[in-house]
Structure 1
Amino acid sequence: MARTDARYNVTELRGLACLLLVAYHTVGVPGSGMHVADDSLYRYLTGSFELIRMPLFTFISGYVYAARPVRAGALRVFFGKKVRRLLLPFVIVSTVFYLLQTAAPGSHGNDAPEEMWRIYVFSYAHLWYLQALFLIFAAVGVADAFGLLATPRAFAPGFALALGAFFAIDTEANPWSVNEAATLLPHFLLGVAVRRFAATFRQPRVWALAPLGLAFGLAVHQASLLHLVPIQIGWKSGVALLCGMGGALTLLRVMPSSGVMRTVGEASYAIYLYHTFFTAAARIALVQLGWQADLLVFATSLGAGIAGPMVVEALAVQRPWSRVALVGRA
């Protein structure tokens, strides 16, 4: 993947988002991953990035999309590409993940539904993001095809609607991860806006607001994590918006150039798809060998979750069928 914009180290930023994601799934939620205590340092550190991690991924997706947005009359081609890129790997990886999860209970937690068909219709494991991102691309693609986001004046009502959906959409069944799509849509649109209306976002006062919002959001979130205030901060909150948007804008501005992070970022999609297979395998292997030190398990599983998918991608691209089926590339 070529660097997206000479002004910003976007590929490196995507690499950072990958590291945060793999670290989170390495530690896991209670009942999965490393099975560390709720008050452990590992869970605290991964929890500290809870409101930044996926918004950052989605912001980057919006920023990259804005380089080649949908044009009038091109929706069919656009959706065809998104089906290949997102939905085909979603079906294949979800199927394999489910079969492994049910064959080896505990290796990936205990969230597998009894009926297999549910993994394709409802939110499942980490693969919910592909469902949500497809819905986001669909909404933004249609809006762009009709010119509804082309200018700041046209963009503002669309962004306001996205903010309304952020707070309003919270279904109990959550078909096709619609709740998460609504939660992440404003972050995607922010990425689009930063690229599309670059002159506005290069103004010093705009950039100054981002770290201020991030600092305030993080302070409130940290107070919640440390039980200094009797509230829990979830994704559907103003604090989450401040952390997600402020974090994305601030990190975009300050992310340095790095060969290592660029390499990780170039493999970000494969890492997202396959990292859990390798983090679980490394963790289980270490435990079987008697190595149970938290730091060793964390570092080894994290490294496996980054390197393993890179190997999968390198092998997959050697054949046309595997390139399409396993990593969604033409």
Structure 2
Amino acid sequence: MNQEKNLSIETLRGIAILLVVVGHVIGSGPGGGMKIDFPHPLRYLYVWIDYIQMPLFTAIAGWVYALKPFSASSGFGSFVRKKALRLLVPMVAVGTLYFLVQYLMPGTNNKGELSQMWRIYVFPYTIYWYLPSLFLIFVVQWWMDSRKWMDTPGKWAVCCIVALIFSRINDVWILHEVPDLFSFKGALGQLPYFFVGVAACRFAVSLYSRLAVRRVLLAVALWGIVLMQIVWFYPGKCASLSMLLYPVTLIPTLFLLLASKWHNRFFVWIGGYAYSIYLFHGFGTSGGRIILKMMGIDAIVPILLSATFIATIGPVLVDKLFNCSKMLRMLFLGRR
């Protein structure tokens, strides 16, 4: 891959993490984040953010995974240890810190009970649900690559269709009654998008060389905009059906985004700290809102901009600070 392609992926990574931060500042519903109720424009903005933020983040992870040719000689155990250090160790360390800060600090949302703290290591916990989900996705991808189930576009398509079916079963069928141990439901939901990232890297020539293919991808991707309008303007059964179809329009959208050649220095810089921002932005989104309200600032726009700034720049500073200590770097950033 050339330098420009790498820069474009880093740009997308920077955009994706900023969308994650802004989405968490706003809050997924009227009871969280800034407690903004319908029909405020920021709630409409969140519909757009929620549509793309985690699928894009996951597709980028798949693209980066596929950069390095698969080699079974390195061993499954070695692969799992590396991913556990990168994902699960910070999940435990940062998740514990976040739980305790949220428990002790006045004014935070959704406080937990100390007697229930063990649950954050077993079940999805706030923003950290994604880390065990991504770990499981990496394990599945390694297992499939070890059996050469994704070494051609045709094999990839079969695997992606199966992943799509499981992701939809995850949303509408019996899995609702199954405990979400280790965020496996999140892994099922995000797995097709990881596969998209893998394919966008491995099969780029066959995917993007034909104009007809690009036109079909664009046409289906544009339907995603229609689905989002249905979700916003027609809540209820129509919205539920539209959200069920999200993956159908998201997959071509992600293919087109990953093929983009555009890059931006600011987003590239932010993208370099994306993982640290993901780990620590929750402290900034909550802390920023609380500090501003203590200062008597209740206006929505200043809170949105200030909390977003704090939640983005704060983790960058934490990254630089923790990077100076081998122990802190390993525990809180997942780096050796």
Structure 1-normalised TM-score?
A: 0.92
- In structure 2, how many angstroms separate the alpha carbons of the residues matched to 1:53 and 1:235? 17
1:306–1:243 distance in 2 versus 1, CA, 3 Å: farther
RMSD: 2.3
- In structure 2, how many angstroms separate the alpha carbons of the residues matched to 1:220 and 1:236? 7
Q: Is 1:58 matched with 2:58?
A: yes
Instruction: Determine which of 189, 205, 209 is the counterpart of 1:183.
Output: 189
1:183-208, CA deviations, whole angstroms, 9 ceiling, x for partnerless residues?
11011001101111111112222222
Aligned residue runs from structure 1 range 63-212, under 5 A? 63-74=63-74, 75-104=76-105, 106-110=107-111, 115-169=116-170, 170-172=175-177, 173-203=179-209, 204-212=211-219
1:59-95, CA deviations, whole angstroms, 9 ceiling, x for partnerless residues?
0000010012541132222111101100000000111
Contact kept in structure 1, 2:230 and 2:242, CA below 8 Å = no
- In structure 1, how many angstroms separate the alpha carbons of the residues matched to 2:152 and 2:68? 16
- In structure 1, how many angstroms separate the alpha carbons of the residues matched to 2:3 and 2:322? 24
1:205–1:126 distance in 2 versus 1, CA, 3 Å: same
Q: Which amino acid aligns with 1:19?
A: L
Q: Is 1:12 matched with 2:11?
A: yes
Q: Is 1:306 matched with 2:295?
A: no
Q: Which amino acid aligns with 1:223?
A: I
Q: Which amino acid aligns with 1:192?
A: V
Q: Is 1:32 matched with 2:35?
A: no
Aligned residue runs from structure 1 range 288-307, under 5 A? 288-307=294-313
Aligned residue runs from structure 1 range 248-327, under 5 A? 248-254=254-260, 256-327=262-333
Where in structure 2 are there 5+ consecutive unaligned residues? none
- In structure 1, how many angstroms separate the alpha carbons of the residues matched to 2:81 and 2:329? 16
1:237–1:243 distance in 2 versus 1, CA, 3 Å: same
1:302–1:270 distance in 2 versus 1, CA, 3 Å: same
Aligned residue pairs, count:
328
Instruction: Determine which of 214, 224, 229 is the counterpart of 1:217.
Output: 224
- In structure 1, how many angstroms separate the alpha carbons of the residues matched to 2:122 and 2:3? 33
Identical pairs, percent = 31
Contact kept in structure 1, 2:20 and 2:49, CA below 8 Å = no
Q: Which amino acid aligns with 1:197?
A: F
Q: Which amino acid aligns with 1:43?
A: R
- In structure 2, how many angstroms separate the alpha carbons of the residues matched to 1:3 and 1:311? 30
Displacement, 1:105?
5.7
- In structure 2, how many angstroms separate the alpha carbons of the residues matched to 1:199 and 1:321? 43
Displacement, 1:3?
8.4
Q: Which amino acid aligns with 1:231?
A: C
Displacement, 1:98?
1.1
Structure 2-normalised TM-score?
A: 0.91
- In structure 2, how many angstroms separate the alpha carbons of the residues matched to 1:136 and 1:229? 31
Displacement, 1:252?
2.6
- In structure 2, how many angstroms separate the alpha carbons of the residues matched to 1:151 and 1:316? 42
1:83–1:142 distance in 2 versus 1, CA, 3 Å: same
Contact kept in structure 2, 1:89 and 1:327, CA below 8 Å = yes
Displacement, 1:116?
1.1
Contact kept in structure 2, 1:8 and 1:252, CA below 8 Å = no
1:155–1:19 distance in 2 versus 1, CA, 3 Å: same
Displacement, 1:268?
0.4
1:107-143, CA deviations, whole angstroms, 9 ceiling, x for partnerless residues?
1435778511111111110100001101100100111
Q: Which has the larger helix fraction?
A: 2
- In structure 2, how many angstroms separate the alpha carbons of the residues matched to 1:100 and 1:237? 36
1:47–1:153 distance in 2 versus 1, CA, 3 Å: closer
- In structure 2, how many angstroms separate the alpha carbons of the residues matched to 1:98 and 1:245? 34
1:118–1:160 distance in 2 versus 1, CA, 3 Å: same
Displacement, 1:166?
1.2
Q: Could you tell me which residue of structure 2 aligns to residue 47 of structure 1?
A: 47
Where in structure 1 are there 5+ consecutive unaligned residues? none
Displacement, 1:30?
2.2
Displacement, 1:159?
2.0
1:152–1:250 distance in 2 versus 1, CA, 3 Å: closer
- In structure 1, how many angstroms separate the alpha carbons of the residues matched to 2:296 and 2:192? 46
Segment drifting more, 6-15 vs 314-323:
6-15
